[in-house]
Amino acid sequence: MRTSALVVSAALLLSGCSSMMLTGGGSPGPRTAGDTGGQQSAELADDAAITSRVRARLSEDPAVAGAGLAVRTDDGRVTLSGSVGSYAVRNQAYRLARQAEGVRAVINQIRVEE
């Protein structure tokens, strides 16, 4: 009796696993182009606009303009990278990026090479 209950429990558990494997477990995977009905396109456009705004702000500041920093945006999170000559310039670039419209967060990967 106990063995049959164990077998039934194992069978039920395994049948649930196989259905999760076949259906993907009900959790969404990574987004791919065209699977969100235009939502991803809108987010990409927003990210491109944010990147443009941050680059414009950086290019308008005399201390940061010549640094040649790279700017990437993903879901409103801006990543700054490159190298500058001082912590003051690194911090100014961060502040300028943070103030740009639409920026949710700034990841500052700028290196200081004194």
When pLDDT is averaged across residues 18-38 and rounded to a whole number, the result is 44
pLDDT at 59: 97
In 3D, which of 108, 83, 82 has the Cα closest to residue 95?
108
Looking up tokens 């308008």 gives: 60
Rounded CA-CA distance 63/68 in Å is 11
Domains plus CATH for the chain?
40-114 (3.30.1340)
pLDDT tens across 49-75, in order?
Answer: 999 999 999 999 999 999 999 999 999
In eight-state DSSP terms, residue 68 is: -
What percent of the chain has pLDDT above 90? 59
Decide if pLDDT at 12 tops 50: no
Rounded CA-CA distance 36/21 in Å is 22
